[in-house]
Amino acid sequence: MKRNMFDEIIQNDVPGPNANASKAKKLRSFQLGSPFVVEGSRNASAPRLINIFAAVVCTDVVFALVDFARLITLRVISIERHWEADDFQPVSAVWALMWGSGHGPDWIDEPESAKVVAHSWRSKVLSNDRFGCVPMVKQLSKDFILALQREIYWASKSFLNLVAGVPNFDNPLTFNDKSNRNYFAHFVWVYRRQAVRIPKNLNDRMARAGLFDPQHTIGQDYNHDPDPALLTDTRYRRKEQPVLMYKQGQFCVYTPILAKPPSHWRFQPDYSGVLADDAQHAGYKTTLGSAQFHNQVQNKIDPNVKGKPGRPKKEKTGRRGRPAKPPQTAILRQKTYTGAHRCERLLKATNTSSQVKNEDMSEKLPTAGISSPSGVAVGREQDGKWPLSLQDQVLLTLEASQGNMNLKGIKAEPLEYEAYHHGAHDSGRLIKRRRRV
């Protein structure tokens, strides 16, 4: 942030939010003034605090280390003279001092030592029977399990261009909406996502291996032709599949695979997979990515806050590039409360169409139970309502995404049973379906 803004923030320090008064007096926070609160954000008139643990103060700019939850641990290294550029070379006398404790050898300058440590780390991870993917974080572990196709991208040029940009606003705490959208679109595949776009070859291999069949067991031979709706259309390079969440205790797995795990796997979910909530639709809760920090998320525009009439004035900062624009209210409402038009949040649906039911009665077609992956029949009529099984939800998703759903005459209303709507051309419609046998 600019030096003058940093100086303005630190002028107003207050006790922190700790419930213990003595601790709150020691753990200080800084109260943000109106220049750091975006007009139109939620509870803009309420006091807002920021926790600054450390800062590198330069003549015109300041690099501040901020953490709302106070989880930062700082390790300070000092020498009895000024630091020089040569100190940061592997051959320097202080190199071991900087990277000796809790750090491994450098992959570029110390490749042989790095390989030895990597093999040792791999052996420790494989021999550990605890759940989780320590020391690999949950998001990366789920994406790596799906497909390891890219090199590490956190320092890649594409990642820096798409995600690491600074919004063209004077307020350093403005929510970076473009960075947030790019991060989820390009760098989060299955973890806490509601759908994933799988490359054609991989998707078709998974379908032919029975991984999208909830009655199949992973690893067994699959001697059936996959449903054509599960295969990639020849016109496209990718296929969008819903992401399911499986849970065992507190451990969650996100995957597009519907097939059951074999009995010898340690992970045996407590229940059948449910369609995952998308982290993009978490509203004002911090989730994933460099834009998702508490003070920035507080400054997200709230579509329910009544703004000033007319076109908002463009903010000109004097920096290079096009002036930043606030996000459109309609899109923001979808992202914050209902989800994007391609992949809305879980919707509740029931069949209230007397026409379809009368067709069944006239044709003497019974509505039989539909087995869920756990084998529980959940498709029978209950109190005049037709619940949707997980298979129907997924089939509904596929048909809607292929544009094969006949939307005419279909009426939906939010009642008891969950269904999944995604990919339909008309984003405002709720889609429901009942499977007849």
Residues 139 and 26 in one domain: no
pLDDT higher at 387 or 413: 387
Residue 414 has pLDDT above 50, yes or no: no
Residues 309 and 160 in one domain: yes
Residues 183 and 323 in one domain: yes
Residues 10 and 37 in one domain: yes
Give the pLDDT confidence score for residue 425 in this predicted structure. 31
Give per-residue burial for 151-188: e unless 16+ CB within 10 Å, then b.
eeeeeeeebeebbeeebbbbbbbbbbbbbbbbbbeebb
Classify residue 292: in a domain, yes or no.
yes
pLDDT band for position 55 (50/70/90)? Answer: very high
- Phi (first) and psi of residue 253, to 5 degrees: -125, 130
Nearest by Cα to 131 from 295, 8, 246: 246
Residue 360 has pLDDT above 50, yes or no: no
Please answer whether residues 360 and 194 qualify as being in contact, where contact means their C-beta atoms are separated by less than 8 angstroms.
Answer: no
Residues 161 and 289 in one domain: yes
Residue 372 has pLDDT above 70, yes or no: no
Please answer whether residues 242 and 195 qualify as being in contact, where contact means their C-beta atoms are separated by less than 8 angstroms.
Answer: yes
Residue 189 has pLDDT above 70, yes or no: yes
Give the pLDDT confidence score for residue 48 in this predicted structure. 93
pLDDT higher at 197 or 266: 197
Distance of CA 269 to the CA centre of its chain: 22
Average pLDDT of the segment spanning 163-192: 87
Classify residue 378: in a domain, yes or no.
yes
Q: How far is CA 222 from CA 157, 207, 255, 262, 336, in A?
A: 42, 10, 20, 14, 41
Average pLDDT of the segment spanning 419-424: 32
Residue 274 has pLDDT above 80, yes or no: yes
Residues 238 and 172 in one domain: no
Nearest by Cα to 353 from 428, 433, 426, 415: 433
Number of domains in the chain: 4
Give the pLDDT confidence score for residue 58 in this predicted structure. 93
Measured distance CA(210)–CA(227) in Å, rounded: 10
Give the pLDDT confidence score for residue 358 in this predicted structure. 44
Residue 307 has pLDDT above 70, yes or no: yes
Give the pLDDT confidence score for residue 96 in this predicted structure. 80
pLDDT higher at 137 or 93: 93
Please answer whether residues 135 and 142 qualify as being in contact, where contact means their C-beta atoms are separated by less than 8 angstroms.
Answer: no
Domain edge (last residue) among 15, 46, 66: 66
Residue with tokens 């954000």: 41
Give the pLDDT confidence score for residue 357 in this predicted structure. 39
Burial class (CB in 10 A: 0-12, 13-18, 19+), 99: middle
Three-state SS for 198?
strand
Residues 234 and 353 in one domain: no
Nearest by Cα to 230 from 430, 397, 407, 405: 397
* Bond into 135 cis (ω within 30): yes
Distance of CA 106 to the CA centre of its chain: 30
Residues 248 and 266 in one domain: yes
Under 8 Å CB-to-CB from 23, ≥6 apart: which residues? 16
Give the pLDDT confidence score for residue 106 in this predicted structure. 76
pLDDT higher at 167 or 148: 167
Give the pLDDT confidence score for residue 325 in this predicted structure. 72
Average pLDDT of the segment spanning 49-61: 92
Give the pLDDT confidence score for residue 384 in this predicted structure. 39
pLDDT higher at 94 or 437: 94
Classify residue 113: in a domain, yes or no.
no
Residue 28 has pLDDT above 70, yes or no: yes
Residues 206 and 350 in one domain: no
Classify residue 391: in a domain, yes or no.
yes
Residue 200 belongs to what domain range? 195-276
Residue 413 has pLDDT above 50, yes or no: no
Give the pLDDT confidence score for residue 410 in this predicted structure. 32
Classify residue 93: in a domain, yes or no.
no
Classify residue 269: in a domain, yes or no.
yes
Residue 13 DSSP one-character state: E
Classify residue 116: in a domain, yes or no.
no
Residue 346 has pLDDT above 50, yes or no: no
Q: Give the length of the chain.
A: 437
Measured distance CA(347)–CA(225) in Å, rounded: 31
Measured distance CA(325)–CA(332) in Å, rounded: 13
Give the pLDDT confidence score for residue 128 in this predicted structure. 62
Give the pLDDT confidence score for residue 137 in this predicted structure. 58
Element housing 287 (H / E): none
Under 8 Å CB-to-CB from 196, ≥6 apart: which residues? 146, 189, 190, 240, 241, 243, 256
How confident is the model over 373-407, as pLDDT tens digits? Answer: 333 223 333 343 334 444 444 444 444 433 333 33
pLDDT higher at 334 or 90: 90
Residues 297 and 369 in one domain: no
| Segment of 84-98, 118-132, 206-220, 318-332 carrying the highest mean pLDDT | 206-220
Burial class (CB in 10 A: 0-12, 13-18, 19+), 226: middle
Residues 172 and 44 in one domain: no
Give the pLDDT confidence score for residue 42 in this predicted structure. 86
Classify residue 424: in a domain, yes or no.
no
Measured distance CA(185)–CA(179) in Å, rounded: 10
Give the pLDDT confidence score for residue 118 in this predicted structure. 84
Mean pLDDT of the chain: 72
Residues 287 and 171 in one domain: yes
